[in-house]
Structure 1
Amino acid sequence: MNSTEDKLKERIKELTCLYDVTSIIVNADYQQLETSLQAIVQCLKKAWLYKDDAEVYLSCSAYEIKTKAYDPSMVSLKSDIKVFNKIEGYIKVGYPKEKYSQSDFLEEEQILLASVSLAVGNLLERKQIRDSEAAVKRQMEHTDRLYILGEITAGIAHELNTPLANILGFAELLKERMVDKQTIKDLEKIMDNAIFSREIVKKLMFFACEMPQEMHSLQVNSNVESVLELLKPSLQEKNIKVNTSFSNDDIQLRADTVQLTQVLFNMIMNAIYYSPVNGAIGLDVKEKKKNIEISISDQGKGIDPENETKVFEPFFTTKPHGEGSGLGLSVVHGIITSHKGTITHKPNTPKGTIFTIDFPKL
């Protein structure tokens, strides 16, 4: 390529390629990014001196795109794709080694490839930023919903406490005066239901962080063992094995003993419910520099993606009617939040769910 006309044609091809790549990126659909990357790969192929023999390969993150006849053994130019200054992949443009050598590439082509790689990196950065913003927005909306629900449930709990106490008190007084056995049985049913309702109110107050806390240093390992002892009948009923692991023998945490017990009881009971017969539950307690991490894993069906943001909302449950109030995980969330901790969940492998609780060392 010696003539001025040929050089001009190549520059036009390169500029056209850059313009097309820029247009693709500006109009990119972040939900279908692979389509945009495929279009960029085709643009690069057309920009090379021997475009009929040029093949392109792009590898980055979850994407792997190549033109039809690409072969790894080709002589090629390569440029790294950087996302937030970290190499996340690369683009290669190659020629068949039977016909071409490295000297057949133009200096301008290496510059063009670097420019396109930079543009692809910028595109992937924008996608990550967009995804992060969307995740933060969802989290804020979720937090707002929980806050509003907390305010509502706190009000409901306070309003129900007095009439429930009256129902229970007057039923007890009537029971003492009655001699008819059937009437006494009926009153006992009233009292049992009032006590059950009072427990639900108590859970609502836990969720709304309205229960007073008695914070003191406690031994996490013995607390875990005590809860497992309480749940032994439920574990034996489904023949479920609990694999416990402690990072050391004396893990100390400043917390409310009753509330920590309730958190562990609810989480392990939840894992038992969703675990299959003869399954296994993992319970790992790790002491780190600034926090205590408790992980509880099961081998159940896992959480449906549609329900991932709902699991900590009060009254939400996937259990059949009559088997759950939908307050267990919301109570756990309220207690952990009041301890300035966090709770998250992720899929277990090969199936099930892992809940991870982080308590700060206060």
Structure 2
Amino acid sequence: MSPLITTEDKLKERIKELTCLYTISSHISNCDLDNLEPTLHAIALSLKEAIRYPQDTSVELIVSDFHIEVGQRPDDKVFMLSAIKAFNLSIGSIKVGYSKAKYNENSFLNEERQLLAKISLELGNLFERKQIIEKEIISRRQVERADRLSILGEITAGIAHELNTPLANILGYSELLKDQFKNQEFVLKDLDKIMNSAIYSREVVKKLMFFSCDMPQQMELTNIVPIIKDAISLLKPNFLKKQIACHVNIQDENIPLRVDAIQLTQVIFNLIINAIYFSPVGGHINVSVFQDKTQVNIEISDEGSGINSNIGDNIFNPFFTTKPVGEGSGLGLSVVHGIVKSHKGVIKHKHNSPKGTIFSISFPKN
């Protein structure tokens, strides 16, 4: 049982509580929102010292992804508990305890319970501020990205149109030259190189036009299952080349959706070709298609090296690629993003356990 508390003791405890509140407010004001663990640990220590018997006190702070414990850790204890809330949602709690062998529930002062509630409120405000700042950063990035894509879309549309005519001329005149030099093998080889380079450039132009939304869409309500199956079947040589097994899981044989069939094929092609490129020999690629009342979902997962968190925000940017020079234009995922967006859909990526990447696409049915 704890001894009776005198007026002098009450005054000392009050000074400790006020000091604790001041210290914690200082910690919160000067904290690094990207690294909150030191601040939370300092708050737990400050709270422990503000309790009447700090030498016997344990403080356990659980909030978000953090779990902080300081002080004594008796197996059986009495404690006071306060929830931490952000935007009226519980995100954690603070527990202050004593050993049950030495103290009881009456050992805690009412002022200590009030102190605990105030600290919980301060922590809730801290995490609300963190969430607001994080959402502002995401919103700002989205606006900046939209601005960049809009400007780049206008530029690339112009570039695509300007390049189409000279590329067609290169291919046409190369064909004529092949007829003129059909008996000179070394000349034909050089002309084939020219034509292959022009064809490659034309494919880049097509991607630019997809990206800039300059390709007219032919939206029709259709069953997308055959479209997806046909796209996958056309890639069989690519699977065989790296001995990759492709597992297709389609929930229903009839999944109606209003889409441009050619553009949907482009999406599946790009994502699976990327998955094949980054997958190890003998790996597995999974394609899942399922629906509910409001949307259609497509998931494509691989067992590659995954997407580094440092570049995760950039992979849909035009001309951004992690492939070696000459092996990627950096437009594939930009085209995919543009097509999905034009269909009012959303594309995201996440880590595939234990390794690799999962791309998930959601298309609204309406």
Instruction: Please give the secondary structure, in 1, of the residue aligned with 2:85.
Output: strand
Tell me what 2:162 maps to: 159
Q: Provide the residue aligned with 2:329 in structure 1.
A: 325
Preserved contact between residue 142 and residue 309 of structure 1 (Cα < 8 Å): no
The 10-residue stretch of structure 1 (59-68 or 186-195) with the greater mean CA deviation from structure 2: 186-195
Aligned to 2:27: 24
TM-align CA RMSD? 1.9
1:292 match: 296
Q: Mapping of 1:214-293 within 5 angstroms? A: 214-293=218-297
Which of 42, 45, 48 is equivalent to 2:48? 45
Q: CA deviation at 1:354?
A: 0.5
Q: Which deviates more, 160-169 or 347-356?
A: 160-169
Distance 2:195 2:44 in 1: 73
**Partners of 2:85 and 2:215 in 1: CA distance:** 51
TM-score by length of 1: 0.94
Query: Is 2:342 aligned against 1:354?
Result: no
Q: CA 1:169/1:77 → structure 2, altered by over 3 Å: closer, same or farther? A: same
Any conservation in 2 of the 1:310–1:316 contact (CA below 8 Å)?
A: yes
Instruction: Output the amino acid matched with 2:17.
Output: E
Counterpart contact for 1:298–1:354, Cα < 8 Å: yes
CA offsets per residue over residues 123-144 of structure 1, 9 Å max, x none? 1121122222222222322333
Secondary structure of the residue aligned to 2:49 is helix
Query: Which whole-Å CA distance do the structure 1 matches of 2:173 and 2:200 have between them?
Result: 16
The alpha-carbon distance between structure 1 residues 42 and 171, as it changes in their structure 2 partners (threshold 3 A), is same
Single out whichever of 329-338 and 57-66 deviates more from structure 2.
329-338
Alpha-carbon separation, structure 2, partners of 1:45 and 1:219: 63
User: More displaced, 272-281 or 2-11?
Assistant: 2-11
1:5 aligns with 2:16: no
CA offsets 1:157-202 (integer angstroms, 9 cap, x no match): 1111121122223333344445543444444443333222212111
1:97 paired to 2:100: yes
The runs of 5 or more residues in structure 1 that have no matched partner are: none
Is residue 2:3 matched to residue 1:15?
Answer: no
| Percent of aligned pairs with the same amino acid | 55
Deviations 1:70-94 (A, max 9, x none): 3352221111112221222211111
State the number of aligned residues.
362
Change (3 A) 1:40 1:332: same
Structure 1 range deviating more: 310-319 or 214-223: 310-319
Is the CA contact (8 Å cut-off) linking 2:84 and 2:90 kept in structure 1?
yes
* Runs of 5+ unmatched residues, structure 2: none
Give the counterpart of 1:147 among 147, 150, 153: 150
Equivalent-residue separation in structure 2 for 1:346 and 1:44 (angstroms): 39
TM superposition outliers: structure 1 runs of 4+ over 6 Å: none
Alpha-carbon distance, 1:323 to partner: 2.2
8 Å contact kept, 2:56–2:71: no
SS of the aligned residue for 1:81 comes to strand
Conserved in 2, the CA contact under 8 Å of 1:57 and 1:70? no
SS of 1:305 mapped into structure 2:
coil
What residue number does 1:315 align with?
Answer: 319
Going from structure 1 to structure 2, the CA distance change for 1:184 and 1:104 (only over 3 Å counts) comes to closer
Give the corresponding residue for 1:76. Answer: 79
Q: SS of the residue aligned with 1:31?
A: coil
CA contact (8 A) 2:246 2:286 kept: yes
How far apart, CA to CA, are the structure 1 residues paired with 2:309 and 2:34? 17
Q: Is the 8 A contact 2:55 2:71 kept in 1?
A: no
2:194 to 169, 176, 190: 190
Q: Kindly tell me: are residues 237 and 166 of structure 1, through their superposed partners in 2, closer, same or farther at Cα, counting changes over 3 Å?
A: closer
Q: Deviations over 1:94-141 (max 9, x none)?
A: 122222222211122111111111111111121122222222222322
Larger displacement relative to structure 2 (181-190 or 231-240): 181-190
Shift of 1:247: 2.4
Deviates further, 218-227 or 186-195? 186-195
